[in-house]
Amino acid sequence: SEYTGTVTIDTTAANGGYTLTDPVRGHVTKDANNVAASSLKASSGTAITSTTNVWGDGKKFSSDRTTAAVDAHANTAWTYDYYKNVHGRSGIKNDGKGATVFVHVGTNWDNAQWSDTCFCMMTGDGDGTTDPEQVDLDTMGHEMTHGVTSATANLRYSGESGGLNESTSDIFGTMVEWYANNSVDKGDYLFSDQSTPPWLRRFDKPSLDGRSADCWSSGVGKLDVHYSSGVGNHWFYLASEGSGTKTVNGVTYTSPTCNNSTLAGIGNAKVAKIWYRALTVYMTSTTTYKGARSASLNAARDLYGAGSAEYNAVAAAWSGVNVN
């Protein structure tokens, strides 16, 4: 792979060789042959095959077109397994069906996206110079989470609900990275740190990207959804790790609160459990940050009890980002 060292992937024997159909989870990884995202259908592209069942050369910007496919295939499997084993969710729609995953979409397309229409994930090759293929773990987890959100709360992709939609993808994208526990692409609170170095967004102080919001304010819903997400991402960090300076897996984070409080975290596994229940049980298409506070407190009460340490940490972290 490009981003996770040597990995084992699940393939299928076909036509005397092998193809990237995952027989366990049902995902199919295909080459889009540089067709643009706007033109792709589930039936587009071509199967990726090997006669040896050994795939890829481990290089970024590889001339071997199967290399990005190794990452895409492995990371889609990790995403599926995270939802299945941690949240009991069987596939994006919870119907056990796998998705189609395209690599080599467009020309120098420095992005990736999920489409409900084709029930597919599309990944580009990066910008051709500094950003390589957009198939790293948190990116794949982020995009597939857009499918999970559509199938559950269906948070409308504008205003505060749009920021919550994006934040949900950043949160679970990052949790897929923690779940994979890979020694090369370690769990962190950075987003798209492998395919858009040094990172595209971060959770401890989202405004370090120059655009994201750290704190809720009445105008936050007017920001692009990839920046209004900062409030949710910052809440997730504070609830998980607490405020102040901390080094986790070799990365140092400094997270200030918006109300000068000092917070202790409860760990990201619990916060993610709470967020998943909030998303799938309590949030709706028009949930705002205030509504997300209530939804996550309801979820924390269900899982850990009203007045539990977890419940109180969730409340304090929302207050820490000015959502009261």
207 makes contact, choosing from ligand ASN, Zn ion, none, with CB < 5 to 8 Å by partner type, with none
Q: Which of 2, 133, 143, 310 is catalytic?
A: 143
Nearest to 167 by CA among 284, 289, 316: 289
Give 200's contacts (C-beta < 8 A, 6+ positions apart). Answer: 191, 192, 193, 209
Tell me how far apart the alpha carbons of residues 41 and 26 are, in angstroms, rounded to a whole number: 18
Tokens of 102: 């395209």
Residue 234 annotated as catalytic: no
Distance in Å, CB of 51 to ligand ASN, minimum: 34
- Nearer Cβ to ligand ASN (21/192): 192
The residue whose two tokens read 């706007």 is 38
Angle at the Cα of 142 (from 146 to 276), degrees rounded to 5? Answer: 70
Question: Considering the complex, what minimum distance in angstroms separates the CB of residue 169 from ligand ASN?
Answer: 6
Q: Minimum CB separation from Zn ion for residue 151, in Å?
A: 15
73 a catalytic residue: no
Task: Work out what residue 73 binds among Zn ion, ligand ASN, none; the CB cut-off runs from 5 to 8 Å by kind.
Answer: none
Q: Which residues contribute to the site for ligand ASN (CB under 6 A)? A: 111-113, 142-143, 146, 166, 226
DSSP string, 179-225: HHT-SSS---SEESTTTSSS-SEESSSGGGGSS--SS--TTGGGS-H
CB of 267 to Zn ion, least distance (A): 25
Query: Out of Zn ion, ligand ASN, none, which partner does residue 113 contact, by CB within 5 to 8 A per kind?
Result: ligand ASN
Q: Which does 273 bind (CB under 5 to 8 A by kind): ligand ASN, Zn ion, none?
A: none
Strand runs (DSSP E) across the chain, as ranges? 12-14, 17-19, 28-31, 46-47, 49-50, 100-105, 112-115, 120-124, 190-191, 201-202, 244-248, 251-255
Q: Which is nearer to ligand ASN, 89 or 226 (CB)?
A: 226
Catalytic position from the list 226, 234, 241, 310: 226
Taking the least distance from each CB to ligand ASN, the nearer of 114 and 311 is 114
Q: Could you list the residues that contact Zn ion (CB under 5 A)?
A: 169
By C-beta, is 112 or 239 nearer to ligand ASN? 112
What residues are labeled active site? Answer: 143, 226
